[in-house]
Structure 1
Amino acid sequence: MQLKDFMYYPNLGCRLAMIRCYEWRGSKLPAVEQTLIQQLWFLLGAINLFYQNLGLVIDLSLSETQKELSAFIAQISETCSVMGLTLVGASNMWMLLYYRREIEAVLGELQELYPPRRQRIYRIKHYYEQSTRLMKHSTTFFLFAYAYYNSLPIVELCYELLAASQQVKYKAQSDTWYPWHLFLAERSALSFAASYLCQAISSLSGVAVIMSGQYLMCFFTTQMRMHFDALANGLSTLDARHSEANEQLKEMIVYHCRLLHIEQQINRIFNFMFLSNFSTSTIAICLMAFAMVMINLAAAFKYSVGLMSFLVFCVFICYNGTQFTLASDKLLPAAFYNNWYDGDRNYRRMLLFFIMRSCESRVLRTYKFTPVSMATYMAMLKFSYQLFTFFRAMIK
């Protein structure tokens, strides 16, 4: 089992988005160049994904909103909830492209640290199965959410065509303005087909980059957890009375310093993704719940999958952040309960230095002020519910 085996699901997201898979030194992977068709498909998906944010704002500004406060808030909720998904997808795509060199550099460092053969202190199979199971279930959900979201307009259209008393509305996935609305009726069949196709491509690109960004973060946290666990096991089995104990402890301190350096690089890469996901999700969860309650039954079915998507990928990020912190917290007790009292003065001094550096928990943070943890996830849900009750009170 090699490091590249852990990258299966992050590469799957890259392939769905038609982004070139990551390459790093020591991976021994053949360089694969993108074909012209793949490059054009990526550009088409990226343009549609970024444009949909603008199209939603233009459609909202051009719409003739009723004077009632309830109708205005319902329309704002419907527009902003869809925009939340597109903004998260666009921010993830920007992060994957902008930090590509940094990501490949971290992958190269992890390749150097990856154990060359099976060692007792490394639980490679355990962490591989754990991370693969988590990403596999998440992939199933995201692909189901994509198919569900894009099938609803077709189901609604078929129902309107089969029902004699029903008026055909030709409503796409979201109310997005496109340039062809200037010379085609917005509710015509041709305009519906073009809008539906553009939004299907946009949502596929958004789902793919969200999967790739989250799975890449899961990959990094899994590798760091594996190394922290191996370092803690190595400290617990280190015998201070051994003649080579000092040299072994020096190697572990250097190993720990490299892990701390990689942790800082990971934080720097994912800072923007954490910020955009948390800030957007907090508001979007509230607005989607409000749209489900205030608009109609069809909106409730449509936005239920969006609400679940935000809940799933936020808990995915926060769960990995919590597991990362718990793995780093193993180092302090492992060093403290070592038989340091049997070592010489230099050994005890080095171990004290290691303990001092391990006192602070290693936490993934959003620009050094919001920890990525399950506690943050619960606080985010609490704030979303407070916003939801505030909007409900305004309507009443």
Structure 2
Amino acid sequence: MPLLARTFSEFIHIPIVFYKTIGEDLYEHRSSNRVRRLLLKLLLHIGFVNFNLLVMGEIIFFVKALRSSATILEATGVAPCIGFSFVANFKQIAMTVHRVTLRQHFDQMEEIFPKTVKQQNAYKLPQRERVMRRVMAVFTLLCLAYTSTFSIYPALKASVQYWLLDAPVFERGFGFAIWYPYKTTEKNWVYWLTYLGQVHGAYLAGVAFLSADLVLVASVTQLCMHFDFISRCLEEFGGASQSDVQKDLEYLKALIVKHAKCLKLSEHVNSIFSFSLLLNFLTASLTICFIGFQVTASSKEDIVKYIIFLTASLVQVFVVCYYGDELMTASMRVGDAAYNQNWFDCDKRYKRLLTILIMRSQKPASIRAPFMPPISFRAYMKVISMSYQFFALLRTSMERKGTKFT
């Protein structure tokens, strides 16, 4: 049992800190330090200009590589990086466009967050937060391991070969296949500036991609916690008695108001993340397909990098689908708990309120993307199925062209 109550800021601390490292301050409106705000904005804007120039270079490289059968494997290697970059870009755009809604969402989430140790234990906050942080830790490790492996490995490998294994020259390589309008390896300072630009762009993409999902996970975790608390209150209450009807009605009204707030907050989540989730799921199958293809076609040296990338992509889609399924299950449980009360001999007014609660819970809260059904484990299975179909088609096409695989 914790000695001190957790605050909402501590609950959502991880994505807030990650966002600040790239210059995005979600609590900017609460900061009184104008210089700090301007410096963070400058860092964010410069970072995204650099990142989008790198994405343009990847697209040009991809188009050039597609023109030759000799470089088709390089094209399929850069394709998942382009998909990852587009999703990271649109997640950041969604955060920027819905900044006002996001601030209102955080304020309302903080308002209903349990404040005391007793309340937090009643809500089972420690158990919920423990699971949430484990999920965040695994996802963060995989996502940053992917970007770090691709960006840092070439310089690390060249350093070991040159300084420890007495290689004749320092091999000036890059982690990402990007077209540049200038010669990147002739001069030492040009190479290192270009290399550091790639490292920062990869880190920014990883954080923008990762942190949006971490905000989603934290929001859904708290909503599930509230829905479960409402369900337990209904089950433990057992139904209104005839002795103190007014008190029981007030108790049920409070639960209905809380339930309505949770449904409204779930709609906030959808308005903020729906478009980026749509793009995420549209590109997920192709991205996983190309990564899987690289795992089967790359050299042994590159396989490890692509396996980490593949694992991160699979885990990311799974985490979103898992929490989407959890949200639907938790919100539907409220209606079941209300119906399972001993309501037969209750006052008519109590029955009427209970009916309203049951009717509201018939349409469960969910994570949705435009033109798609609610995100759940079914969506995950569809992504995996489509990824395998694309992979089989791509591999068969390459084999027919005579491409040899390692």
TM-score scaled to structure 2, two decimals? 0.87
User: How far 1:187 moved relative to its partner?
Assistant: 6.6
Question: 1: distance between equivalents of 2:122 and 2:296?
Answer: 53
Residue aligning to 1:38: 40
- Map 1:68-217 onto structure 2 (within 5 A): 68=69, 71=70, 73-117=72-116, 118-119=118-119, 121-158=122-159, 161=162, 170-179=172-181, 181=182, 184=183, 189-217=188-216
Distance 1:21 1:124, change over 3 A: same
**Partner in structure 1 of residue 9 of structure 2:** 4
Q: Distance in 1 between matches of 2:25 and 2:155?
A: 32
Q: Secondary structure at the match of 2:211?
A: helix
Matched, 1:359 2:369: no
The residue identity in structure 1 corresponding to 2:46 is L
What does residue 286 of structure 1 align with? Answer: 289
Give 1:338's aligned residue: 341
Identity between Structure 1 and Structure 2 (%): 23
Which whole-Å CA distance do the structure 1 matches of 2:207 and 2:248 have between them? 48
Q: How many angstroms does 1:104 deviate by?
A: 0.7
**Relative to structure 1, is the Cα distance of residues 327 and 49 closer, same or farther in structure 2, using a 3 angstrom cutoff?**
same
The superposition leaves residues 86-118 of structure 1 with CA deviations (integer Å, 9 ceiling, x where unpaired) of 112212221222211111101111222223433
Q: Does 2:228 correspond to 1:229?
A: yes
Looking at structure 2, the residues matched to 133 and 328 of structure 1 have their Cα atoms a distance apart, in angstroms, of 23
Tell me how far 1:37 sits from its aligned partner. 4.3
Residue type of the alignment partner of 2:56? L
Q: Which amino acid in 2 is paired with 1:52?
A: L
CA distance in 2, matches of 1:226, 1:20: 26
The count of corresponding residues between Structure 1 and Structure 2 is 386
1-structure distance, mates of 2:61, 2:186: 14
Deviation at residue 216 of structure 1 after TM alignment: 0.5
Asked if structure 2 preserves the Cα contact closer than 8 Å seen for 1:152 and 1:302, the reply is no
C-alpha distance in 2, partners of 1:42/1:380?
32
Give RMSD over aligned pairs: 2.5
Matched, 1:304 2:307: yes
Whether 1:57 and 2:59 are equivalent positions in the alignment is: yes
Matches of 2:187 and 2:294, distance apart in 1: 25
Provide the C-alpha distance between the structure 1 equivalents of 2:156 and 2:365, rounded to a whole number of angstroms: 48
Off by >6 Å, runs of 4+ in structure 1: 162-168
In structure 2, the residue corresponding to 1:329 is in which secondary structure?
helix
Partner SS for 1:105:
helix
Give, as a single letter, the amino acid of the residue that structure 2 aligns with 1:236.
E
Q: Which moved more, 1:372-381 or 1:126-135?
A: 126-135
Give 3-state SS (helix, strand or coil) of 1:391's partner: helix
Structure 1 pair 146/222, CA: closer, same or farther in 2 (3 Å)?
A: same
Provide the rounded CA distance (Å) in 2 between the counterparts of 1:144 and 1:288. 15
Q: Distance in 2 between matches of 1:43 and 1:224?
A: 33
The CA distance in 2 between the partners of 1:65 and 1:295, in whole Å, is: 20
Question: Could you list the runs of 5+ residues in structure 1 that have no partner in the other structure?
Answer: none
Aligned residues of 2:65 and 2:74 also touching (Cα < 8 A) = no
SS at match of 2:284: helix
How much has 1:40 moved relative to structure 2?
Answer: 3.1
Are residues 146 and 350 of structure 1, via their aligned partners in 2, closer, same or farther at CA, if it must alter by over 3 Å? Answer: same
**How big is the shift at 1:11?**
0.9
Give the Cα separation in 1 of the matches to 2:62 and 2:335: 54
Distance 1:32 1:210 in 2: 27
Is contact 2:291–2:306 with CA below 8 Å preserved after alignment? yes
Amino acid at match of 1:59: F
Deviations 1:32-56 (A, max 9, x none): 5535543333222211222222111
Counterparts of residues 215-294 of structure 1 (less than 5 Å):
215-238=214-237, 239-241=239-241, 242-243=244-245, 244-294=247-297
Q: In structure 2, how many angstroms separate the alpha carbons of the residues matched to 1:187 and 1:297? A: 28
Contact conserved, 1:322 with 1:373, CA < 8 A, in 2? Answer: yes
Where structure 2 has 5 or more consecutive residues not aligned to the other structure, the ranges are 1-5, 400-406
8 Å Cα contact 2:174-2:195 kept in structure 1 = yes
Could you say what secondary structure the match of 1:372 adopts?
coil
- Contact conserved, 1:10 with 1:215, CA < 8 A, in 2? yes
Aligned counterparts of 1:166 and 1:285: Cα–Cα separation in 2: 38
Distance in structure 2 (CA, Å) of the matches to 1:373 and 1:15: 30
Change (3 A) 1:140 1:299: closer
Q: Which amino acid aligns with 2:103?
A: E
